A and B are shown apart, each in its own frame.
Chain A
Amino acid sequence: MARILGGITTSHIPAVGNAIQKGLHDDPYWKPFFDGYPKVHQWIQDNSPDYVINIYNDHGLGFFLDRMPTFAIGAAHEYRNEDEGWGLPALDPFPGAPELSWHIIESLVADEFDITSCQELAVDHGFVVPMQLFWPGAPHHPHMPKAVPISANTVQHPIPTLNRALNFGKALRKALLSFPEDAKIVVLGTGGLSHQLDGQRAGFINKDFDQYCLENIVHNPEELTKITRQELVKQAGAQGTEFLMWMMMRGALGDEVTEITRNYHIPISNTAAGTLLLECA
């Protein structure tokens, strides 16, 4: 049976892709951000996952408002990165794991989570930037795991509740642990932390709230399910709702986790950037 090694969260700001491409790791603006990743690289190297479940939110590449799935799961042999409208060079496709995808889909729907399965899914910065951060050179890193993307809607309200996100993660855990292959799996939760791009409140960042979330998500994620969605918008900013992805990841890790590393830095672009690596017991 498969084993879940742990979970890694990170912000997925588009500008990071550009900084990686230009090699700005030691630039004074970027260094405090990139310093959060060497420990993650070491952990990945020591644990060598076979599969990566990449929980992210699409920002208007894979999905539009004509059909907006609350939870979508990729079930493709590969995932194309495409132009998001800024004419940046797209990365090569990421290898998929359709057998694992369909296993997850079967298990989640049996558990009464109504998901959308996607045999074609273009993946945007929410998916690819974390891959580039964790597996430098992705998708051509020599030990690139096969990927299953899971996207949750944070574009259009109503978005899922934090409770639903955590429970989704728990159901995902059940699915992964029953995958009949002696495989090692890592789960990513990408996005956040506090930021707001739109409106007169653009630029809003909330360090205290982020710290509260970081503290509780490690050993007390249930506490965070008390936060209502509108409260989340108010406290984390309109796009800080991406914290839902962190909750989904956390649910997949089970009760006992060990914090391996954490990083938090303000600002990268408009965002409070956070990184957290939790190892499963």
Chain B
Amino acid sequence: MHDMPGYDYHIDIPGTVLFDGTQAMKGYALNKMCYDFNKAVNRDGFKADEEGWMAKYGLTEPQKDAVRQRDILAMIDAGGNIYYLAKLAGIFKLSVQDVGGLQTGRTTEEFKEYLASQA
């Protein structure tokens, strides 16, 4: 299409990683693990043995590190998609606003204020 002439062409949108084919391939193992968290049995498996569970899904080293550090931006950089990562965030008992704060260097309260400031 005219707005996307090449497979790797993107306009620059600061602070935004477009989840495209490149990211989807890079992040497959991490996203697959997170997708499987839809089932409680897999959430329990992860909680019981994080390292073993990540190895079972073949996560890359950067993906494992990002999960160990609870570093959302690093997960995205390693190919994570926020819709699947949201299931992992649930295991860590992080709300959507907690996740927003973590990514933007704000406390959760500050992040909520930022949201409301755009009304």
Binding site for B on A (CB under 8 A): 15, 59-61, 64-66, 82-87, 155-158, 161, 196-207, 228-231, 233-234, 238-239, 265-267, 269-270, 272
Contact = CB atoms under 8 A, between A and B. Distances in A.
Contact of A200 (B43, B81, B103): B103
Nearest to A227: B3
A270 B96 contact: yes
Contact of A203 (B31, B34, B86, B115): B115
Nearest to A196: B16
A207 B116 CA distance: 12
Interface string B52-73: 0000000000000000000011
A230 B114 contact: no
B35 A230 contact: no
Given A203-B100, A270-B115, A84 B38 contact: yes
B38 A82 contact: yes
| Interface residues of chain B: helix, strand, loop or mixed (majority) | helix
Nearest to B72: A198
Contacts of B97: 269-270
Interface of B: 1-4, 10-11, 13-21, 24, 28, 31-32, 34-35, 37-40, 43, 72-73, 76, 81-87, 90-91, 96-97, 99-100, 103-104, 111, 114-116, 118-119
A86 B90 contact: yes
Contact of A205 (B4, B81, B118): B118
| Interface residues of chain A: helix, strand, loop or mixed (majority) | loop
A230 B3 contact: yes
B83 A60 contact: yes
Contact of B100 (A64, A197, A234): A197
B87 A86 contact: yes
Contacts of A272: 118
